[in-house]
Chains A and B, each alone.
Chain A
Amino acid sequence: MVGARILLESLKKSGVEVIFGYPGGQVLPIFDQLYDFDVKFILTRHEQGAAHAADGYARATGKVGVCLATSGPGATNLVTGIATAYMDSIPMVAITGQVGTHLIGNDAFQEADVTGITRPVTKHNFLVKDVKDLARTIAEAFYIASSGRPGPVLIDIPVDVQRADTEFIWPQDIKIRSYQPVYSGHPGQIKKAAKLISTSKKPIIYAGGGIITSGADLELKKLAEKIQAPVTTTFMGLGGFCGTHKLFLGMLGMHGTAYANHAVMESDLIIAIGARFDDRVTGRLDAFAPGAKVIHIDIDPSSISKNVRVDIPIVGDAKNVIDELIGQIDQLPDTAEWLKTVESWKKKYPLIYKDDSAMIKPQYILEQLWDLTKGDAIICTEVGQSQMWACQWYKYLTPRTFISSGGLGTMGFGFPAAMGAKLGCPEKEVFNIAGDGSIQMNIQELGTCVANKINVKVLIFNNGFLGMVRQWQELFYKKRYSFTPITSPDYVLLAQSYGAVGIKVTKKSEVIPALKKAIETNNTVFIDFRIEPEENVYPMVPAGKAINEMIEGLA
């Protein structure tokens, strides 16, 4: 069997249902095999779109996303998508063609050292120089991408390896002696954690993307309800705890809710699960939660004690560890007073916006979207203000319903990711919350959506600005709006020219009808919402401040 065929057979053995990609000179043998191979292939309009689509598919389904590109520029175009997946621990396998083995290092046409370029943004990568290694390498790649703390793995396959012939042997069992992720937490540490929880008076659970990766949402709910502790999630953790639960405080950090931030700062115990105390969460590190002890549960030892001093580190899988922990807590902490205080903060500092202008407020659109869908949808986002509003004003009830680039903050992510999510979950309504800046970064994927009948609904919050940067310029750079005003095409005509549906909304009264029409339309829809141009995202913790030093916006 030729290498190209071995690749496809191996992908099939790995359970791959869909591949996102783009052809080119050094992947011709693979595409020749794809011609009549039984797997869904989605031709994107840009390799970056393929990488984000594979990522969106992975986030929506929990399966490994796969993208495929040619050597050189095809491969380098994947890099932003790979880095995005890496920062958010998303399982992905990226396959790239490479020039023939005899040409590697010769500056051949469309040659790039892709394993070199992607080394710092992949969990691992491979250059396959012998076709005999191909099947095992693919099996290892899928194992590495999806186990432990997941991440993207790249396989670079020279064109002569794709053509070379060998017997196809699929390895039954993958064992890598130098890679053994730890899934079960240390029993002694779990016991200590249980004791600390029992004696705490003001505990708070701070949960991250690890809850979703590990599928620990039910365990998290059980733990929170058992010990009656309020729960805040990170951006990546949204959906990991039910957004309408009475113990839920919303997201914490720079654009988190004021009550979540106050609760963390005043707590005496932080139970961190699958989160990494990122700078957007902690604010000024030396002022972060001064009175709190910290229990930190994470599958990646390097995340523990990286930023914040930890009292009880527990390395392990969130689901396993929480389950064990619940069993170890005999004596429940008395948190009645604490919950009352937290409740008073909720009342005192609610999320609010002024809805008095004639212009459409972005928060209003999201509230209407929530009313129409009640959480039964996948919400993807681009990056910036629209993304932060989507965190604050929509409620995520279950895991994998919020899909957004967290760590890397990649503009242009949302639209192709929404395509991937829709392909993974065709029964779900998929929305992309976009700004007029971000949507223009991968707008070419309209072609992919229409050609493949992938019906995603793109809600463009069009304010004529690169809004988040403008907000910082307004607040910290004396309103010098340096290159943040941005023009847009006519999105209605643009959508139509691709064969999609475009709707323009300029009045508040048109918001609900437009959303309803988008949901009813069996096609990709772009809604161009003309929103209040200088609306800001509040609350906001300015850079370098403690997270309880928020700008409230409406005083």
Chain B
Amino acid sequence: MRHTISILVENKFGVLARVAGLFSARGYNIASLAVSETLDSSVSYMTIVVEAKDEKVLEQITKQLNKLIDVITVTDFTKKEHIDRELVLAKINYTSKDKLKLEAIFSKFVGKIVQHKADTAIVEAVGDEQQIKVLLEELNKFGIKELVRTGKLAIE
């Protein structure tokens, strides 16, 4: 099962390596990871999506993260009410005649064209895991040439 964990850490060099090392040393794969500064620039916020076989594995991950000296708090969002979002940028096949089709899609999702050159458009979209999944299926009908994603962000 996939779990979303967020951790508040000291904004210092090496912290990301400590967190990443904790996962890699145990053979756990990180599905996505987003890191950035917070309002307080001495603190960074990491949102990590991880695959954990069972509760015991997740409990160990959380405890081990808490044990790192630079980690301030650890929150497992899996059982908590929370809002999560992801931003995607996709380069798709697109010409002016596709305009209505694309607008129809974006009427259902939060997104827009941010650049259009010749037969290619770059679109941006924001949504939760399910919305992004459906959106990508829709965009795939145009043909996705390139795709980048931020990874999940979550907040209580």
Contacts and interface: CB of A to CB of B under 8 A. Distances in A.
A120 B67 contact: no
Contacts of A300: 67
Given A120-B21, A178-B70, A305-B56, A115 B63 contact: no
Interface of A: 115-116, 119-120, 123-124, 127, 144, 176-179, 300-302, 305-306
A148 to B, nearest CB: 9
Nearest to B24: A120
Given A120-B21, A178-B69, A178-B72, A127 B63 contact: no
Given A177-B72, A178-B70, A179-B69, A119 B18 contact: yes
Contact of A116 (B17, B63, B72): B17
B101 to A, nearest CB: 50
Contact of B64 (A176, A177, A302): A302
Contacts of B9: 178
A306 B69 CA distance: 20
Nearest to B18: A119
A233 to B, nearest CB: 25
A123 B69 contact: yes
B131 interface: no
B50 interface: no
A301 B64 CA distance: 9
B59 A119 contact: no
Interface residues of B, number: 19
Contacts of B72: 177-178
Contacts of B115: none
B25 A301 contact: no
The secondary-structure label for the interface of chain B is helix
Contacts, number: 35
Contacts of A302: 60, 63-64, 66-67
B60 A178 contact: no
B83 to A, nearest CB: 25
A431 B39 CA distance: 58
B14 interface: yes
23 contacts: A115-B14, A116-B17, A119-B14, A119-B18, A119-B21, A120-B21, A124-B70, A127-B14, A176-B69, A177-B72, A178-B9, A178-B10, A178-B70, A179-B69, A300-B67, A301-B63, A301-B66, A302-B60, A302-B64, A302-B67, A305-B56, A305-B59, A306-B60
Nearest to A144: B69
A120 B17 CA distance: 10
B22 to A, nearest CB: 8
A407 to B, nearest CB: 15
A121 B64 CA distance: 14
B71 interface: yes
Interface in B1-29: 9-10, 13-14, 17-18, 21, 25
Nearest to A309: B56
B21 A124 contact: no
Contacts of A178: 9-10, 69-72
B13 to A, nearest CB: 8
A196 B60 CA distance: 26
Given A178-B72, A302-B64, A306-B60, 8 more contacts: A119-B17, A120-B21, A124-B69, A176-B69, A178-B71, A179-B69, A302-B63, A302-B67
Contacts of A305: 56, 59
Top 3 A-B residue pairs of the complex, sorted by shortest distance between their CB atoms: A302-B63, A178-B72, A124-B69
A300 B64 CA distance: 10
A491 B71 CA distance: 51
A123 B70 CA distance: 11
Contacts of A124: 69-70
Contacts of A115: 14
A349 B12 CA distance: 57
Nearest to A129: B13
Contacts of B67: 300-302
B98 to A, nearest CB: 48
Contact of A120 (B13, B14, B25): B25
A420 B110 CA distance: 66
Contacts of A123: 69
Contacts of A116: 17
A120 B71 CA distance: 15
A58 to B, nearest CB: 19
Nearest to A124: B69
Nearest to A119: B21
Contacts of A301: 63, 66-67
Contacts of B70: 124, 178
Q: Taking each of A120, A177, A178, A300, which has the highest tally of chain B beta carbons within 10 Å of its own beta carbon?
A: A178
Nearest to B66: A301
Contacts of B13: 127
A116 B17 CA distance: 8
Interface string B85-115: 0000000000000000000000000000000
Q: Taking each of B56, B63, B71, which has the highest tally of chain A beta carbons within 10 Å of its own beta carbon?
A: B63
A226 to B, nearest CB: 32
A176 B72 CA distance: 10
Nearest to B63: A302
Nearest to A123: B69
Nearest to B70: A178
Nearest to B69: A124
A158 to B, nearest CB: 14
A120 B18 CA distance: 8
Nearest to B8: A178
